[in-house]
Amino acid sequence: MVEPGDTSSTSGGWMSHLVELRTRLMTVTIVVIVIFAVLAFFSDRLYSLLAEPMLAVLPPGSQLVAIDPLTPFSTPLRLALYLAIIAAAPVLLYQAWAFIAPGLYQREKRVAAPLLVSSMLLFYAGCAFAYFVLLPAMFKFLAITRPEGVAMMPDIARYLDFVAIIALASGFSFEVPIATIILVLLGWVTPKQLADARGYAIIAIFVIAMIITPGDGVSMIMMAIPMCVLYEAGILAARIIAPKSRDGSAGAPR
């Protein structure tokens, strides 16, 4: 029997949770290190693939440059580390799920698991969209609009930073359906309110797209269109997932 004021069981519970959390973090760290060790052997080739959208718009024979003497060595390894972290995301999500799942109700588990998987897939889709669609359009625009007499010779480290920012921005932008579903499940909005605010959402999406892209019409529209489609998909998914209100329409939990 636990005496009043006895915190030993509580302390033991906290310690067990901390030990479990440390174990799961160590698992994720080891996975990242292993993946990085593998990718490091191909880091130069990986960077060559990363540079292809830029090299495609440069004059024949052009190449990226390295301003710092260490960047030819460190930049491909940094890319390998970024890719290792992204590749280990499923392991991270699984470990996070395994840690919090015991404290969730059954209905919360049924909703949370698909949301975690969907968010990961959407993020990957956003990064792929940035590499295969958005970046080529952006670099083509930048190459066309450069002043006469100015040669494009990007530094490999700054190019990696630029691509990483665009890829992350595109990946998180593709999380629009997840954001709308979570807002509905939290009871902050209803699917009907999201649909009624469609006009304002489209304006906000185009503003975000303008910030992400260089501001040219082509790449901005290319970024905004999938976000608008994903916004509609989020409304549709929220109507399916959200509990039904008394009048039969999908609404916030009561």
Kindly tell me if the per-residue pLDDT of 1 is higher than 70. Answer: no
**3-class state of residue 250 by DSSP:** strand
Between CA 247 and CA 106 the distance in angstroms is: 25
pLDDT of residue 4: 47
pLDDT of residue 199: 93
Tens of pLDDT, residues 233-253: 999 998 888 765 433 445 444
pLDDT of residue 254: 39
Taking the CA atoms of 102, 104, 106 and 111 in sequence, report the sign of the dihedral they define: negative
Give the pLDDT band (50/70/90) at residue 39: very high
**Beta-carbon neighbour count of residue 203 at 10 Å?**
10
pLDDT of residue 108: 72
Average pLDDT of the residues in 171-191: 90
Kindly tell me if the per-residue pLDDT of 106 is higher than 80. Answer: no
Output 23 or 245, whichever has higher pLDDT: 23
Between CA 164 and CA 158 the distance in angstroms is: 10
The fraction of the chain above a pLDDT of 70, given in percent, is: 90
